[in-house]
Structure 1
Amino acid sequence: MIDTVVLDIGETLTSDDRYWASWADWLGVPRHTVAALVGAVTAQGRDNADALRLIRPGIDVAAEYEAREAAGRGEYLDEDDLYDDVRPALTALRAAGVRVVVAGNQTVRAGRLLRALDLPADHVATSAEWGVAKPEPEFFARVLEAAGSAPERTLYVGDHPANDVFPARAAGLRTAHLRRGPWGYLWADDPDVRAAAEWSIDSLQQLPSLVAQ
């Protein structure tokens, strides 16, 4: 039985379109250039921030992030950034008595913006707020604290094998790989991902019936 569903954020709940487009605009390059480079580094198994380093070698990404914030061109999320299945799926899970937790590798600001959206979730937290990021085991220890349920009764849902599926499985959680976004599509049929994920899903709206099983 699954008591709690924990969901990743980027490319699970929210589209990264605005995020990468804003970086392209800030760096003064076409948006498709950044999108293509993100895809390239993803396929190489590299940190997606390496796309920015290819455009501007030696860039201090954290410093540029702060500069964007200071210029009023910083990180932003609103209802348009949510995938269409997010509210219906989370609402259905809570109606079924399942605790819903949102936890992913995001900034402190992203956490505030997500909570301002008043998602149908019991808890929303980001790695920056916790001071530890995926795939570190301590992140998933914090996930279980937020879940308030045993690992075998907690389902972690995400698109990224290395950050979501593999470390969640190693922490004893149950796992669902979401075929969404660059990482989700690229690794959907990888044998190791298939072996580590108990379920492979195409939409969050599959979760209520999956949990009901």
Structure 2
Amino acid sequence: MIRAVAFDIGETLVCDDRHWSSWADWLGVPRHTLSALVGAMVAQGRDNAEAIRLLRPGIDLAAEYEAREIAGRGERLEESDLYPDVRPALTALHDLGLRVLVAGNQTVRAAQLLRELNLPAEAIATSGEWRTAKPAPAFFARVVELSGVAPHQIVYVGDHPANDIIPAKAAGMHAALIRRGPWGYLWADDPVGAAADWRIDSLAELPALLEQHRGEAG
């Protein structure tokens, strides 16, 4: 029986528009240029941070993050950055008695900003805090630890087949791929994306799907 649902962050709960626009502005390049390069990285199955490195070869991303914070142009996360279906879906899952978790590849600062939004979630954690990132098995071991339940009782929800779906399944979890953001749309029907237990277009679909699964499992 499913007892916990864990959510990826970028392009699952949070729209990445602000993230990439702010980087383009900081680097002094047109937003469309960086967006197009991110799309190219996605299509090639490469890390999206490579888009920044193409624009600034040899860039130290950690140092650049720090410089942005010092300049007052660091990470921001507001209610408007959440997809509209986030709060209703998380609330509905919580009302079903499921443990709701948020765990994704983000910075320590992003974790702080997410907590300030008071999402209907029992726990929020990021790779920056854990010092291990998806798709590493250690990341998903931490998700299991955070949930307090067995891996087969967890659904991990994300938009990235290689970072979310495949490693979550390898860890013994169920997985739901959301068709959202460049990865979700591009890879949803690829054999990698097909490994998901469910493929959804909105988080609003999850409560009914998991309630039905409960009934079938019971």
Matched, 1:20 2:37: no
CA distance in 2, matches of 1:97, 1:171: 23
Give the match's secondary structure for 1:191: coil
One-letter amino acid of the structure 2 residue matched with residue 80 of structure 1: S
SS in 1 for 2:192: helix
In the other structure, the counterpart of 2:46 is: 46
| Match of residue 123 from structure 1 | 123
Q: TM-score, normalised by structure 1?
A: 0.98
Q: How does 1:8-87 map to 2 (within 5 A)?
A: 8-87=8-87
**Aligned counterpart, 1:186:** 186
In the TM superposition, what is the alpha-carbon distance from 1:82 to its structure 2 partner? 0.1
2: distance between equivalents of 1:132 and 1:126? 9
Supply the AA of the counterpart residue of 2:201.
D
In 2: Cα distance, 1:63 partner to 1:48 partner: 18
Alpha-carbon distance between aligned partners in 2 of 1:52 and 1:192, rounded to the nearest angstrom = 26
Q: Which residue of 1 aligns with 2:170?
A: 170
How many residue pairs match? The answer is 212
Query: 1-side partners of 2:132 and 2:206: how far apart?
Result: 27
Deviations 1:52-81 (A, max 9, x none): 111111111111111101100001101010
Asked if residue 157 in structure 1 is aligned to residue 171 in structure 2, the reply is: no
Query: Contact 2:161/2:192 (CA < 8 Å) preserved in 1?
Result: no
Q: Deviation of residue 192 (structure 1)?
A: 2.8
Q: Which amino acid aligns with 2:204?
A: Q
Q: Give secondary structure in 2 for the equivalent of 1:24.
A: helix
Distance 1:37 1:182 in 2: 12
Unpaired runs of 5+ residues, structure 2, are 213-218
Q: Post-superposition shift, 1:137? A: 0.5
Q: For each residue in 1:3-57, what CA deviation from the matched residue of structure 2 results, as whole angstroms up to 9, or x when unmatched?
A: 0000000000000000000000000011111111000111011110110111111
3-state SS, counterpart of residue 101 of structure 1: strand
Counterpart for residue 197 of structure 1: 196
* Aligned ranges 1:90-105 → 2 under 5 Å: 90-105=90-105
Q: Aligned partners of 2:98, 2:32: CA distance in 1, in Å?
A: 40
Residue matched to 1:212 = 211
Contact 2:162/2:192 (CA < 8 Å) preserved in 1? no
How far apart, in 1, do the equivalents of 2:177 and 2:192 lie? 12
Question: Identity rate of aligned residues, in percent?
Answer: 70
Q: Read off the aligned partner of 1:203 and give its amino acid letter.
A: S
Consecutive unaligned residues in structure 1, runs of 5 or more: none
Cα distance in 2, alignment partners of residues 108 and 31 from structure 1: 25
- Following TM superposition, by how much is the alpha carbon of 1:198 offset from its aligned partner in structure 2, in angstroms? 0.6
Name the CA distance, whole Å, in 1 between partners of 2:32 and 2:48: 15
